[in-house]
């Protein structure tokens, strides 16, 4: 009998550990584990979002919730540039490109090649036309020049980055004054499950204030997430008269210098580091 109890206990502990790893998306095990987790999940990510009632993808709901905070920045600048950090299977790019008034371009950055491949399949025509650029890179360092984007977004991802606070600083750095940051944060009740990674509303509002954001708003969104947004203080500079190229403002992740087109990829103008572009995805990491 004690053996049966012991085996049951071991099974229960193993099941709880696996459940917790899934819930925290392997984030406590480091970026490599998160990348492998998402490379594996990419095969069924969209399908699972179609089925699980709590986390279901709904284009109507996304239009209703995610678009309004972004509209002022998008409408102000015809060649508006959007950076979607941890773009996954391309949810936010698809939402924006589906808006008749949206004429801008989008950079979708993610750590997982599997997720980027799914995004590329869905965004193929826009990737080919240069309106969408897909980049494989860790969100801890955003390889772009300062103040390069009118909008920076990151949905259902922030807590899984290795250093969420550092990533927030990076998102603020690459945003233009007057630009909008749209972020999701896990509900305060999840703070216990994601200890050290999930922040309360009060804390997120303070972080945004410290990063010089104004008009900070945090509202209930999904069962697991709140939606937070704010505008970076300062006057927006006039935008470019021509639509920017897909790799404009991308910087070398090793030395932050400009990257130049070369054959099937980009080469650093200083350290000569080479970064391949394969099937529309730029591999920086
Ligand atoms: C739950 S998905 C969300 C995807 C998309 N933003 C959405 O709302 O559907 C989380 C995404 O974050 C990405 N991710 C996790 N850690 C990352 C990191 N350190 N850098 C870049 N992407 C990361 C994963 O690869 C995955 O695609």
Residue 54's CB is within 10 A of a number of other CB atoms, namely 7
**What is the per-residue pLDDT across 67-117, written as a single tens digit (0 to 9) for each?**
999 998 998 888 899 999 999 999 999 999 999 889 999 999 999 999 999
Nearest to 94 by CA among 121, 54, 128: 121
CA 36, 40, 42, 45 dihedral sign is: negative
Q: How far is ligand 1, taken at its centre, from the CA of residue 112, in Å?
A: 8
179-238 confidence digits (pLDDT tens)? 999 999 999 988 777 887 889 999 999 999 999 999 999 999 988 899 999 999 998 777
Give the Å distance between the CA of 2 and the centre of ligand 1.
44
Give residues with Cβ within 8 angstroms of 217, minimum separation 6.
69, 228, 229, 230
Distance 266 CA to ligand 1 centre (A): 24
Query: Which domains does the chain carry?
Result: 54-245+277-283 (3.40.50.150)
Q: Quick count: other Cβ atoms within 10 Å of Cβ 70?
A: 23
Per-residue model confidence as pLDDT tens digits over 243-259: 788 898 999 999 999 99
How far apart (Å, rounded) are the C-alpha atoms in residues 204 and 210? 10
- Mean of all residue pLDDT scores within the chain: 91
Listed residue (73, 81, 110, 93) closest to 229, CA to CA? 73
State residue 86's pLDDT score. 98
Q: What is the residue with the minimal CA distance to atom 1 of ligand 1?
A: 156
What pTM was computed for the model?
0.93
Residue 111 in contact with residue 139, Cβ under 8 Å?
A: yes
Q: Whose CA is nearest to atom 14 of ligand 1?
A: 86
Q: Give pLDDT, residue 198.
A: 84
């Amino acid at each position: 009998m004690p053996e049966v109890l012991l085996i049951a206990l071991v099974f229960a502990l193993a099941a709880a550990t696996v459940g917790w790893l899934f819930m925290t998306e392997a984030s406590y095990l480091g970026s490599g584990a998160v990348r492998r987790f998402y490379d594996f999940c990419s095969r069924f990510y969209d399908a699972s979002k179609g089925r699980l009632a709590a986390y279901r993808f709904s284009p109507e709901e996304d239009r209703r919730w995610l678009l309004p905070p972004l509209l002022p920045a998008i409408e102000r600048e015809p060649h508006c540039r959007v950076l979607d950090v941890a773009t996954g299977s391309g949810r936010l790019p698809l939402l924006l490109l589906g808006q008749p008034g949206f004429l801008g371009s989008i950079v979708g950055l993610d750590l997982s090649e599997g997720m980027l491949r799914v995004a590329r399949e869905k965004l193929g025509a826009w990737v080919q036309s240069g309106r969408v650029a897909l980049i494989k890179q860790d969100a801890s360092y955003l390889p772009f020049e300062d103040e390069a984007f009118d909008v920076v977004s990151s949905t259902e991802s922030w807590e899984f980055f290795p250093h969420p606070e550092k990533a927030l600083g990076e998102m603020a750095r690459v945003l233009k004054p007057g630009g909008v940051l749209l972020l999701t944060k896990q509900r305060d009740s999840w703070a216990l499950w994601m200890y050290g990674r999930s922040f309360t509303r009060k804390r997120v509002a303070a972080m945004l204030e410290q990063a010089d954001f104004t008009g900070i708003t945090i509202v209930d969104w999904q069962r697991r997430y709140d939606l937070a947004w704010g505008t970076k203080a300062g006057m927006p500079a006039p935008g470019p008269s021509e639509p920017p190229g897909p790799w404009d403002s991308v910087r070398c992740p090793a030395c932050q210098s400009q990257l130049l087109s070369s054959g099937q990829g980009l080469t650093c103008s200083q350290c000569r580091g080479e970064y391949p572009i394969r099937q529309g995805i730029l591999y920086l990491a």
